[in-house]
């Protein structure tokens, strides 16, 4: 299975994402510069966190217009897996691949800590190795992780079971409905604010994020009949 980690000017979690794939799965993974327009060789595309273009305009807005994002949209339409974490989530909403928007944290402060997440669905390609309703520990590191959508969109997300992760116990940024991660209607594009790639070893404080990567590989193998 081939993985791409898209690198934008200002990305700072690209190495974390690369090492998570390498350590957890031992599968081929490449850094792909934001100017690249051919992603056809990749089975999964990972959009890491950071401050793409310095977040000078609006988080994710400039990156959403980068040449590579047209190929990401094409890959998503073909059913390939796309995972956007933190700034990657912001980019996916700005690109129209996921509904809603990410706003400034309600506290107006940057939060960097471990949080508890509730797995709302284990039937997505990204959560097969979790239990539905399971509480996992994953770190956050963001200043604009306050997920917002209008009531109509929220109802649709709820009705279609597109909310994949919710904050449990403490909502660190004021996100509507405690949302920490959502998936598109087709089920192959996931955006989330917490960083699973930073929780793949116990010495990091948690290895609960590791199962997201093993779920991706399991889904791909089952879909493609690979060993």
The more confidently predicted of residues 222 and 58 is: 222
Q: Is the pLDDT of residue 88 over 80?
A: yes
Mean pLDDT computed over 195-220: 97
pLDDT at 58: 86
As given in the structure block, the two tokens for residue 78 are 């073909």
**High-pLDDT (> 90) share of the chain, %:** 94
pLDDT at 162: 98
pLDDT (tens digit per residue) in 127-180: 999 999 999 999 999 999 999 999 999 999 999 999 999 999 989 999 999 999
Model confidence, pTM? 0.96
Mean pLDDT computed over 195-200: 98
pLDDT band at 227 (very low <50, low <70, confident <90, very high): low
Cα-to-chain-centroid distance, residue 215: 14
Cβ atoms of residues 99 and 157 within 8 Å: yes
Mean pLDDT computed over 34-60: 93
Mean pLDDT score of the chain: 96
pLDDT at 196: 98
Which domains are assigned to the chain?
3-224 (3.40.50.880)
All residues at 6 or more sequence positions from 152 whose CB lies less than 8 Å from its CB, including other chains: none
- Whose tokens are 């993974």? That residue is 29
Cβ atoms of residues 159 and 187 within 8 Å: no
Residues annotated as catalytic are: 86, 195, 197
3-state secondary structure of 4: strand
């Amino acid at each position: 299975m081939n993985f791409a980690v898209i690198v934008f000017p200002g990305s700072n979690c690209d190495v974390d994402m690369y090492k998570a794939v390498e350590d957890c799965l031992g599968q081929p993974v490449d850094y792909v510069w934001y100017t690249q327009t051919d992603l056809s060789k990749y089975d999964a595309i990972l959009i890491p966190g950071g401050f793409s273009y310095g977040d000078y305009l609006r988080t994710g807005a400039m990156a959403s217009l980068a040449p590579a994002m047209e190929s990401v949209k094409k890959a998503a339409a073909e059913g390939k897996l796309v995972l956007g974490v933190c700034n990657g989530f912001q980019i996916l909403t700005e690109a129209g691949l996921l509904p809603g928007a990410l706003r400034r944290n309600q506290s107006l402060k940057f939060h960097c800590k471990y949080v508890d997440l509730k797995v709302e669905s284990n039937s997505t390609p990204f959560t097969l190795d979790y239990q539905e309703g399971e509480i996992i520990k994953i770190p956050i590191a963001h200043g604009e992780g306050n997920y917002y959508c209008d009531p109509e969109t929220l109802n649709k997300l709820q009705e279609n079971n597109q909310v994949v992760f919710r904050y449990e116990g403490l909502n660190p940024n004021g996100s509507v409905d405690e949302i920490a991660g959502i998936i598109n209607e087709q089920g192959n594009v996931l955006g989330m604010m917490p960083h699973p790639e930073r929780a793949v070893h116990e010495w990091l404080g948690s290895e609960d994020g590791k199962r997201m990567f093993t779920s991706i590989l399991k889904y791909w193998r089952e879909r493609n009949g690979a060993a």
